[in-house]
Amino acid sequence: MSSQWPLYEVFIRARSGLEHKHVGSVHAVDARMAVEHARDVYTRRQEGISIWVVRSSDIVASDPAEADALFEPARDKIYRHPTFYDIPDEVKNL
Amino acid sequence: MSAAPDALPAPAVRARYVLRLADTSLVLAQRLSEWIGRAPALEEELGLANVALDLLGQARSLLTYAAELEGRGRSEDDLAYLREPDEFLSATLAEQPNRDFAAAIVRQVLLDAFQMALYEGLARSEDSRLAQIATKSLPETRYHFRYSAGWLARLGDGTEESRRRVVVALEDLWRFTGELIASDEIDEAMAAAGLAPSASAVAARWSALVSEALEGATLERPPAVGPDTPVPCGRRGEHSEHLNQLLSEMQHLPRAHPGTRW
């Protein structure tokens, strides 16, 4: 039965985390059920304090065949890494 | 709660009241866990099992407390595994079998609404142990109701077949609801002493929650149970064959191997 239900991707924000992280997916017939399923499957051990779900079919992905064109040009531009700066101790989240 | 509480009911009366709550949660948890391996989807199986585990946790706290009130040196396990069916004081609705998913959901909605109404009142109990257990259980129970009412809406407002099944289940199970909102001398003694909410307060809240769930599912509320329909007596220890079967499975291991540890 669940194979006929649409797939939702699940994102959880951990108690100490600042952003939602992708943790997996669930089948559900609607968004509300997807949140409940995500809660039951992925937060049983207090993994999170916030859940996002999104229909998997609504995610637009980059084309692996275009990986060269998309990602290669960044390879030789190491000056874009912020390794040349001293980060003050007061800055907690960078 | 009354302003001038009457004398505290005898511990035996309080133990019986707590056992009714404990046994209703325990029997329902066992019924729900029967879905494991049989639920319509993996995610749903986890959902039902989570509800069952919450109820089992509530039952354990309540059984422990009932055993203390009783003062006969029995443990929560003794009460769960070594009592006979006629010593169980669970509401008759809880033992009704999982005929299909619709029946399980209707049973769940009716009992979730009951527990929510009850625990909201018990959270203000003069009995600090009961208040503490109710306060801890309330967020769980609110989620259970959200879950079951959500399914009731999907089934009731779903396909012709899902609606047919949920209507059949509602007609079948409604007759057991009279017991949830009835009161007897134990309820009255507890309420008079400020240890439990009055039966009328629980009934009013239960009724409002059930109406909300039924409206969300576009289902008509069955007429009030008439005086000619016998009120089930599970809370007095009178049960159907369904409970015998449920307990023989649940109690099999500790009875076959007394003293087994796990």
Indicate the domain borders of chain A. 2-60
Answer whether residue B67 is part of any domain. Answer: yes
Secondary structure of chain A in HEC code, one letter for each residue: CHHHCCEEEEEEECCCCCCEEEEEEEECCCHHHHHHHHHHHHCCCCCCCEEEEEEHHHCCCCCHHHHHHHHHHHCCCHHHCHHHCCCCCCCCCC
C-alpha A26/C-alpha A41 separation (Å) is 8
For the domain spanning A2-60, the CATH number is 3.10.20.520
Answer whether residue B1 is part of any domain. Answer: no
Interface contact A2-B40, CB threshold 8 A: yes
Lowest mean pLDDT among B2-11, B147-156, B244-253: B2-11
Q: Which of residues 4-63 of A touch B (CB under 8 A)?
A: 5, 26-30, 32-33, 36-37, 40-41, 44
Amino acid (1-letter code) at residue B134: A
Residue A2, pLDDT above cutoff 70? no
Residue A94 has what pLDDT?
67
ipTM: 0.76
pLDDT single digits (tens) B194-240: 999 999 999 999 999 999 999 999 999 998 877 777 888 899 999 99
Q: Count structural domains, chain B.
A: 1
What CATH number is given to the structural domain containing B94?
1.20.1260.10
CB count, 10 Å around CB of A13? 16
Residue A60, pLDDT above cutoff 80? yes
Of the candidates B218, B54, B216, B203, the one whose C-alpha atom is nearest the C-alpha of residue B149 is B216
Amino acid (1-letter code) at residue B112: D
Interface contact B43-A44, CB threshold 8 A: no
Answer whether residue B90 is part of any domain. Answer: yes
Q: What is the mean pLDDT of chain B?
A: 94
Q: Which domain holds residue B35?
A: 11-221+232-256
Answer whether residue B174 is part of any domain. Answer: yes
Tokens read off for B72: 């006969």
Tokens read off for B13: 């009366």
A59-67 contacts at long range (C-beta below 8 A, 24 or more positions apart): A59/A9
From the list A2, A30, A40, the residue facing B47 with the nearest CB is: A40
Answer whether residue B227 is part of any domain. Answer: no
Answer whether residue B6 is part of any domain. Answer: no
C-alpha B130/C-alpha B148 separation (Å) is 25
Answer whether B157 touches A (CB < 8 Å).
no
Number of cross-chain residue pairs from A and B with Cβ atoms under 8 Å apart: 34
Residue B4, pLDDT above cutoff 70? no
pTM > 0.90: yes or no: no
Tokens read off for A94: 């960078």
Q: Is there a contact between B69 and B58 (Cβ–Cβ < 8 Å)?
A: no
Average pLDDT over residues B44-73: 96
CB count, 10 Å around CB of B94? 29
Beta bridge partners of A21: A12
Answer whether residue B226 is part of any domain. Answer: no
Lowest mean pLDDT among A70-84, B54-68, B176-190: A70-84
pLDDT single digits (tens) B84-95: 999 999 999 999
